[in-house]
């Protein structure tokens, strides 16, 4: 409920059409474990994963966004997590370099997609970075996770390449091994996050930069509620994150819950499946 005399914040939330790159989970399965969510002994229904993923893609299209597709490689079951494939800011593409051998072929495959599609400012990284899994772009900064996957040195490499301030954040809970499992950008410099996933110092940095942030509780974090994609108005997130949806609604956002439970078996959800293509602002 809006207090008498105050304006509902919904009125001020504006969606901006986005451009995404996604990878169909044609070859998705769990045959190795590189994060605590993955259990090769648990069966995976690839057809169901494809259907859930198609619903997400269709939702983006209905919301007015553009979606590009990259061809999945048969030996890369995790390639569906397109967010890890690169980071693109102001038309500049920073390629990914994966920590684990199981995913190493994905970095060059994504970089090749950008090359083949006419993107010209490409940087093949020296240091390990797992794309938008660990780099999240706000209006003013690039937030950069480390602790489990991306190398600390990748933060300086990203700052030099993008010419944007990179804020390093330490992840301390192995369930939230990528920054995009613990924090999501909602709008310009507005975020939501799970404080428990960060070191005390990083938590203090987040409080300083985002005193108004939406905070997720443990239950919403555990269903990957923070692995969300926002266009400034609509926030697409796992439907199980009911508490978080309520908090977003109170801030004037329009939360849209989706079912990506099959892809959660690989340790990913909405944001993991979505790489944003950001051109220079005009």
Q: How far apart are CA 212 and CA 277, in angstroms?
A: 27
Q: Of 83, 94, 183, 260, which one interacts with ligand ARG (CB under 6 A)?
A: 83
Q: Which residues of 238-260 are buried (b: 16+ CB within 10 A; e: fewer)?
A: bbbbeebbebbeebbbbbbbbbb
Query: Does the footprint of ligand ARG cover residue 178 (CB under 6 A)?
Result: yes
Q: Which residues of 4-15 are buried (b: 16+ CB within 10 A; e: fewer)?
A: eeeeeeeeebee
Q: How far apart are CA 17 and CA 231, in angstroms?
A: 7
Only segment of 139-147, 213-221, 243-251, 264-272 that touches ligand ARG (CB under 6 A): 264-272
Which residues neighbour 68 within 8 Å (Cβ) at sequence distance 6 or greater? 19, 20, 21, 22, 117, 277
DSSP strand pairing (234-238 vs 254-258): parallel
Query: Does the footprint of ligand ARG cover residue 84 (CB under 6 A)?
Result: yes
Task: Point out the catalytic residue in the list 178, 188, 234, 273.
Answer: 178
Helix (H) or strand (E) holding 250: helix 242-250
Q: Of 106, 157, 180, 276, which one interacts with ligand ARG (CB under 6 A)?
A: 180
Query: Does the footprint of ligand ARG cover residue 107 (CB under 6 A)?
Result: no
Q: In the Cβ-directed half-sphere of 202, how many Cα atoms lie within 13 Å?
A: 22
Question: CB–CB of 194/176 below 8 Å?
Answer: yes
The verdict on whether 178 is a catalytic residue reads: yes
Q: Least distance in Å: CB of 134 to ligand ARG?
A: 8
Only segment of 60-68, 76-84, 210-218, 254-262 that touches ligand ARG (CB under 6 A): 76-84
Q: How many residues sit close enough to ligand ARG to count as binding (CB under 6 A)?
A: 16
Query: Does the footprint of ligand ARG cover residue 72 (CB under 6 A)?
Result: no
Task: Point out the catalytic residue in the list 76, 155, 234, 272.
Answer: 272
If the CB atoms of residues 13 and 34 are measured against ligand ARG, the closer one turns out to be 34
Enumerate residues 122-151 that contact ligand ARG by CB under 6 A. 133
Q: Of 21, 22, 23, 34, which one interacts with ligand ARG (CB under 6 A)?
A: 34
State phi, psi for 111 to the nearest 5 degrees: -60, -40
Q: How far apart are CA 75 and CA 67, in angstroms?
A: 23
Query: Does the footprint of ligand ARG cover residue 87 (CB under 6 A)?
Result: no
Q: Least distance in Å: CB of 274 to ligand ARG?
A: 9
Query: Does the footprint of ligand ARG cover residue 35 (CB under 6 A)?
Result: yes
For residue 53, which of 197, 267, 269 has the smallest C-alpha distance? 269
Residues carrying an active site annotation = 178, 272
Q: List interacting residues with ligand ARG (CB under 6 A).
A: 34-35, 38, 78, 81, 83-84, 103, 133, 178, 180-181, 266-268, 272
């Amino acid at each position: 409920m809006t207090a008498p005399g105050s304006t509902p914040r919904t009125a001020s939330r504006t969606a901006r059409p986005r451009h995404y790159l996604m990878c169909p989970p044609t070859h998705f399965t769990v045959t190795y474990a590189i994060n605590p969510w993955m259990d090769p002994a648990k069966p995976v229904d690839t057809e169901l994963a494809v259907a859930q993923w198609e619903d997400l893609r269709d939702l983006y299209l209905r919301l007015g966004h553009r979606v590009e597709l990259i061809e999945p490689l048969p030996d890369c079951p995790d390639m569906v997590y397109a967010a890890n494939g690169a980071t693109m800011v102001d038309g500049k593409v920073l390629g990914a370099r994966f920590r684990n051998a199981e995913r190493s072929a994905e970095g060059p495959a994504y970089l090749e997609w950008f090359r083949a599609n006419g993107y010209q400012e490409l940087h093949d990284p020296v240091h390990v970075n797992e794309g938008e899994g660990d780099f999240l772009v706000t209006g003013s900064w690039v937030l950069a996770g480390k602790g489990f996957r991306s190398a600390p040195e990748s933060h300086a490499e990203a700052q030099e390449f993008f010419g944007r301030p990179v804020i390093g954040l330490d992840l301390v809970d192995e369930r939230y091994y990528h920054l995009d499992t613990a924090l999501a950008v909602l709008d310009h410099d507005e975020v939501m996050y799970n404080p428990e996933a960060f070191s005390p110092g990083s938590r203090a940095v987040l409080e300083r930069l985002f005193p108004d942030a939406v905070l997720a509780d443990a239950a919403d974090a555990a269903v990957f509620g923070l692995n969300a994609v926002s266009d400034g108005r609509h926030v697409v997130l796992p439907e199980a994150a009911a508490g978080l949806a309520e908090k977003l609604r109170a801030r004037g956002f329009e939360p849209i819950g989706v079912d990506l439970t099959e892809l959660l078996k690989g340790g990913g959800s909405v944001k993991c499946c979505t790489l944003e293509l950001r051109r220079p602002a005009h």
